[in-house]
Structure 1
Amino acid sequence: MQVFWFIPTHGDSRYLGTSEGAREVNFDYLKQIAVAADTLGYEGVLIPTGRSCEDPWVAASALAAVTRNLKFLVAVRPGLMTPTLAARMAATFDRISNGRLLVNLVTGGDVAELEGDGLFLDHAERYEASSEFIRVWRDVLAASHGDGNGSGEISFTGKHITVKGARVLYPPLQRPHPPVYFGGSSAAAHDLAAEHVEAYLTWGEPPAEVAKKVADVRARAEKLGRTVRFGIRLHVIVRETEDAAWAAAEDLISRLDDETVARAQAVFAKMDSEGQRRMAALHAGGRNARTREALEISPNLWAGVGLVRGGAGTALVGDPKTVAARMEEYASLGIDTFILSGYPHLEEAYRFAELVFPLLPRSVREKLPGQVLSGPFGEVMATGIVPRAAQS
């Protein structure tokens, strides 16, 4: 099991839908979150992309310099950059970070945003272009390593992308290229994942729906003689007790009003993303009451975040043992990577790591600071009494 955290380059707050308790997005704050994730034992961080965010490549490059082991899942955007430019960016980042790059292939689902960036392809065309993009990206990076038998150049002629004699002179550290992650819920997305990527990501749907996605992508990949890993993107609200966790969930949306929810849902409704449609369907487009009964769509899976947040809109809510058990349930379906976040992201990174990490599989526990440092941990009492070791 790999556990990732999230860098909120689009903003952070204690309450959704209001500036009350909000945090300014600046480098000092993002650095605090990245360093916390690095020292707490998270495998890596996802950096979001889109016009509502700071640029992910610039942000990741700055944060790589202040971290040691943390991996960065950074987006490439077909249609907004060429595959060879993206390949050079990836190779450089991978080299300067000592092999800590993971690549997130993002096709985009907000038509208005894409048109604002100069991309006027429909849903099917975007997936065609993405398939061609990632093929060129992978091939040119693989060729950059060289084996003494070729020039390191590749050429490709497609419907949307054509390159002739494309070449990357400085290869990435990872061979043949940094791993590619990708998420999408349509049939075209599943085909792309099966053919081109190392890891398929889903947003946090109920386990039965996630199982269907995993089975479908796995079957399509097997027909091509490939294997694909699987990950899930979720928010987390964990507290010492179930009641406290659900109270925190209700508090997170306590400042939302009907107008704000309606405006957000109207924007989401215009998107042509199948994943966004599925997220909205989980809470009936915000039409239901904002109660636990209406928003708990599966045991401990809460759709309240998706009332106003695009993309991942569900959270695991509960006490540490319950949240760990729900993660194990997803893991039993084939999920091995969990990309998590919580509001505010700095405090919740610590809270989740301290409460849940000790309950997760050994692959996670062995990365905890206590497995590396000598301690003591906690406040020394009366100038010499060391705190008792935690009971696992």
Structure 2
Amino acid sequence: MKIFWFFPTAGDGQYLGTRAGERKADISYLKQIASALDNLGYEGALLPTGANCEDSWVTASYLASVTNRLKFLIALRPGLMSPTLSARMSATFDHLSNGRLLLNVVTGGDPKEQAGFGSYHNHDERYEVTDEFLDIWRKVMEGQHVNHKGKHLEVTGAYIPEPPVQKPYPPLYFGGSSPAGKEVGAKHADVYLLWGQPPGQIKEKIDEMKQRAAAEGRELTFGIRLHAIVRETEEEAWEAAERLISRVDDATIKAFEERHAAFDSTAQKTQSSLHGGSRLRENLEISPNLWAGVGLAREGAGTALVGSPDIVTERLREYEAAGVDTFILSGYPHLEEAYTFAELVFPKLKKQPAIR
């Protein structure tokens, strides 16, 4: 089981839905998180991408210089950058970090945000671009000189001077829940990413993607993106969850619902549907200890595991039994919660065997 954390490059705090107590994601704070993750034993950390986030490549490049073993899961954005330039950036980062680069392929799910970057492709066209992009990118990273003229992309004599440290290239993480996204994921991904849903639903998706990958002559591993609220007792954990959304009002919920309705991301629509606009625990606990409250006032992953160390460990093992081996977690605020999770759960994961 690989445990990752998250860099809050759009800001952090103790509450959702308010600027009260907000922490700026400056380099001093991000360095504190990076140092903690490096020393606590996290496998790596995801750097998000989006209009409100600091650039993931620039941020990770700095943080790699102040860490020793932590891996950085950085956004690769087909359609916003050329595949050749992206390959050169990837190879350089992999060299300078001594093989600590992981890549999160992000096609984009918000048409308004895409337009701000100059991309006007519709949903399925973005996946067509991603498919062509990764065809070129993978060949270039393998050391080939590439000529390609496709529907959306064209390169002539594309290459990189030196191959990356990781062979044939740093692992590609990818999440796409639509038919077009699943097709690209089966063809190109190394790790297929899912957002938190009940374990039974996750297993169904994993089984489907295994079949799709097999049809491409490939195998996938699987990761899941979740938040975590762990305390010494289950009661304390649920109190912390309620506190996290205690500043979220009806206007905030409505604003996020309206914003998410404009997305064309299948995964985002699924996450947004889980909470139903309710702040009541009985409505937000969509399966044992899986809480959809985060999605009331946050884009992207909207569910959290809530409970004591024993309970959260048990839930993680249930996902592992369903086929997940990589967990990308986070908590508010991210510095303190990184310590809390590591101190309370890491010892349990080492002692408790996997469910078979």
Task: Tell me the TM-score range normalised by the shorter chain.
Answer: over 0.9
2:324 equivalent in structure 1: 335
2:244 equivalent in structure 1: 252
Q: 2:194 aligns with which of 202, 213, 229?
A: 202
1:357 equivalent in structure 2: 346
C-alpha deviations, 1:116-152, integer Å up to 9, x for none? 1110000010000001111111110102xxxxxxxx4
Q: 1:235 aligns with which of 211, 219, 227?
A: 227
Matches within 5 A, 1:245-324: 245-284=237-276, 286=277, 288=278, 290-324=279-313
SS of match in other structure, 1:34:
helix
Matches within 5 A, 1:91-106: 91-106=91-106
1:112 equivalent in structure 2: 112
Structure-2 separation of matches of 1:35 and 1:158: 44
AA aligned to 1:292 is: R
SS of match in other structure, 2:260:
helix
1:378 equivalent in structure 2: none
Structure-2 separation of matches of 1:205 and 1:185: 13
- Once the two structures are overlaid, the 10-residue window that deviates more, 163-172 or 68-77, is 163-172
C-alpha deviations, 1:17-74, integer Å up to 9, x for none? 1122211110000010011001000000000001110000000000000000000000
1:64 equivalent in structure 2: 64
Structure-1 separation of matches of 2:341 and 2:281: 21
Structure-1 separation of matches of 2:219 and 2:116: 36
Q: Detail structure 1 runs of 4+ shifted over 2 Å in the superposition.
A: 361-364
Contact 2:274 2:292 in 1 (8 A): yes
Question: CA, structure 1 residues 80+23, in 2 after alignment: closer, same or farther (shift >3 Å)?
Answer: same
1:179 equivalent in structure 2: 171
Contact 1:65 1:97 in 2 (8 A): yes
C-alpha deviations, 1:137-173, integer Å up to 9, x for none? 1110102xxxxxxxx4111121111111101012211
AA aligned to 1:54 is: E
AA aligned to 2:165 is: L
1:15 equivalent in structure 2: 15
Question: CA, structure 1 residues 363+93, in 2 after alignment: closer, same or farther (shift >3 Å)?
Answer: farther
Structure-2 separation of matches of 1:255 and 1:281: 21
Q: Please tell me whether Structure 1 or Structure 2 has the larger radius of gyration of its CA atoms.
A: 1
Contact 2:4 2:45 in 1 (8 A): yes
2:137 equivalent in structure 1: 137
AA aligned to 2:231 is: R
Contact 1:190 1:216 in 2 (8 A): no
AA aligned to 1:21 is: G
Structure-1 separation of matches of 2:169 and 2:352: 24
Kindly report the root-mean-square deviation, in angstroms, between the aligned alpha carbons of the 2 structures: 1.2
SS of match in other structure, 2:325:
strand
Percent of paired sites with the same residue: 58
AA aligned to 1:188 is: A
Contact 2:200 2:322 in 1 (8 A): no
1:348 equivalent in structure 2: 337
SS of match in other structure, 1:341:
coil
Query: How much has 1:363 moved relative to structure 2?
Result: 11
Structure-1 separation of matches of 2:352 and 2:4: 13
Structure-1 separation of matches of 2:221 and 2:58: 28
2:3 equivalent in structure 1: 3
Query: How much has 1:300 moved relative to structure 2?
Result: 0.3
2:180 equivalent in structure 1: 188
Structure-2 separation of matches of 1:44 and 1:271: 29
Structure-2 separation of matches of 1:117 and 1:222: 35
AA aligned to 1:193 is: G
Structure-2 separation of matches of 1:274 and 1:223: 23
AA aligned to 1:76 is: L
